[in-house]
Structure 1
Amino acid sequence: MEAYARPRVVVSKCLEFEACRYNGDVIYNNVIKKLMDYVDFVPVCPEVEIGLGTPRETIRIVKKVHEHLLIQPSTGRDVTADMHSFTDNYLSTVTDTDGFILKTRSPSCGVKEVKVYASTEKGPAIGNASGLFGGKVADRFSHLAVEEEGRLNNFTIRDRFYTKLFTLASFRRVLPKGLDAIMAFHDNNYYLLMAYSRPTLKVMDRILIKAQENGERLTIELYSKALHKVFNRAARNDSNRNVAREIFKRFESNLSPNEISFFHELMQKYSDKKEPFSSITTLLKAHAVRFDDKKLLKQTFFRPYPEILLEISDSGKGRDY
């Protein structure tokens, strides 16, 4: 498999990059630290950008009728307009980007579960919402890989994020090379796309089949939209099993009854959540090596992102655990 494309990711600046949190701290994060060798990060701190400074008095989201305002309780300052203005201007400049990693529960950067208050006075939160910056990121760039750093501690969420991020980066790299390169991309990602959405994969197949009829420009446009749709949900246990069976068919006629039986036993254990999916992919890849299946060995399904990003503690977990 060729070297992985380097994703471009907008990240909250307080995460590993600069001591710009409201209390003057920098937040150390192992996920982001490990990604630095494989990702081009673009750090940003919306609160600093609108002039709040570091350190600074905290801000909070306050609900007024049907509007969410961004207020600094200690001063009464309303920075809602400033944040909206900065956000709109900044996001309009975001291009050639594959994803975002934003600060969890931040009133500016949080994507979800940001506390909302009834007033600037002390009191319990009355609900949750998105931060003013993070909410617009989620709305405008839902087709990209968007996550909060806190959620990336979960293996399943992190695996899906990495898969989408590196797949989109790979696609962005081949786009300028034209339709032939996109068809090669489709072939190399075929089983991965199948695991995430077989119906969408069929749509993508039809788009490429009609390439001559629709022309290169329209074909690429339609294919891009379908690719972003593929990752709307995570690969599930049943989807992974179906793909594994498809791959196994390539070798089945050359395997002994005991080898075939062992594969089906492994599949049942995975179905019962007693075996990680990595056991199955390792077995399938071993068969691909044994039978020198060069086409299969190019499949990103076996490793959609750099292997080093997997923690040792992740090895016992499957993609839908």
Structure 2
Amino acid sequence: MSASVIDKPKLGISACLLGVEVRFNGGHKESRLCTEALSEYFDFIPACPEVAIGMGVPREPIRLVGDPEQPQAIGTVNSDLNVTQALADYGLHMATQLDNICGYIFMQKSPSCGLERVKVYRENGAPVDGGGRGIYAQAFCARHPDLPVEEDGRLNDPVLRENFVTRVFAYAAWQQLLKDGVSRRALSEFHSRYKYQLMANDPQQYKALGNRLGSMGRSDPNEIAPRYFRDLMAALKKCATRRTHTNVLQHLSGYLKHSLGSEDKQEIQRLITQYHQGIVPLIVPLTLLKHHFRQHPDPYVALQVYMQPHPENLSLRNAI
């Protein structure tokens, strides 16, 4: 199933990233990427944990203190202010409420919403190496371990942005499979559609997942499905590289070997080589392959998510 036929996926998002003035200082952290580029393709569900637990705007800033694995969220002015439990409880509450989202974009460095490297301070005020994770984000993600999550700042990286959006649409496609009903055939067809996407992200895991489905025999598909999906999402989280993309492009070009003349084949190989060398972005050889597959359709290639894992107008493959 291509990205275009799935309903607009819902994404949780830190409200400040949509320009809502909920920051401790009464400001916002609007992400133009979210409000202008992504909002056309996703329905955003905003949340601000601090406001939700009654801290108000403006408010005293908080910071993380203590054990980076289990820090406390303490007021920076009034050290008696401890909102750790309130933020964690709200994270669990929202994890239950937002059971139909397909991803979440969190505010980076936030003591409530940051996913990684959030500053954590020792009791003596010195920062802990490596930092920690925001209290709300930690509680939320613990309940949705397979959910695609990312921080706003990291989405400025074109490779990470393309990877995140690919995972969001994979998550949405899986939710549709669950809605339609899990069966051995449905699992096999889903895996078949993701063959080349998985081959680009994690070739070893593609083989392992295929072997698992191939040997399921008379096993209950409802038992296999959750484990399969967990490993699928872990595999898709690995960023594809020029080397793995090149391998997939070569595989796809193989479906055209009996349809094209030598000049067309040479042109495809030239562009794949230029992509591998970093001269052109992925969209260039892929567009040429799509052109030839329109002239010479292949039913198996037509089903491949890799050919269009997200809406074309997002132009996510123009910069990778």
1:79 aligns with 2:83: yes
CA drift of 1:301 comes to 0.8
The secondary structure found in structure 1 opposite 2:12 is: strand
C-alpha RMSD of the superposition = 2.5
CA distance in 1, matches of 2:70, 2:245: 43
**In the alignment, does 2:238 pair up with 1:233?**
yes
SS of corresponding position for 1:42: strand
Equivalent residue, structure 2, for 1:270? 275
Gaps of 5+ in 2: none
Check whether the contact 1:113–1:129 (CA below 8 A) recurs between aligned residues.
Answer: yes
Match of 2:51 in 1: 48
1:117 corresponds to which residue?
A: 121
Give the drift of 1:103. 0.6
Deviation at 1:139, TM superposition (A): 4.4
**Residues 4, 306 of structure 1: 8 Å contact kept:** no
Describe how 1:145-224 pairs up with structure 2 within 5 A. Answer: 145-178=148-181, 179=183, 180-224=185-229
Looking at structure 2, the residues matched to 64 and 199 of structure 1 have their Cα atoms a distance apart, in angstroms, of 36
The answer (yes or no) to whether the contact 2:19–2:31 under 8 Å persists in 1 is: no
CA contact (8 A) 1:114 1:131 kept: yes
**Higher mean Cα deviation, 155-164 or 282-291?**
282-291
Counterparts of 2:69 and 2:253, CA distance in 1: 55
Q: For residue 284 of structure 2, give the secondary structure of its aligned residue in structure 1.
A: helix
Aligned to 2:302: 297
Q: Work out the number of aligned pairs and report it.
A: 313
Native 8 Å contact 1:203 1:226 kept in 2: no
Q: In the TM superposition, what is the alpha-carbon distance from 1:11 to its structure 2 partner? A: 1.1
| 1:32 equivalent in structure 2 | 34
Displacement, 1:84?
2.7
Equivalent position of 1:7 in the other structure: 9
Alignment of 1:130-145 (within 5 A): 130-145=133-148
Post-superposition CA distance 1:174-215 (Å, at most 9, x none): 222132444433333321122112222223323433454113
Using structure 1 for the length normalisation, give the TM-score. 0.87
Mapped partners of 1:105, 1:17: distance in 2 = 17
Distance 1:17 1:170, change over 3 A: farther
Distance 2:196 2:68 in 1: 49
Cα separation, 2, equivalents of 1:288 and 1:39: 29
Q: Is the 8 A contact 1:59 1:72 kept in 2?
A: yes
Structure 2 counterpart of 1:251: 256
Q: In structure 2, what is the Cα distance between the partners aligned to 1:148 and 1:284?
A: 33
In 1, the alpha carbon distance for the partners of 2:196 and 2:67 equals 49
Task: Determine the structure 1 residue equivalent to 2:101.
Answer: 97
- 1:307 CA displacement: 1.6
Gaps of 5+ in 1: none
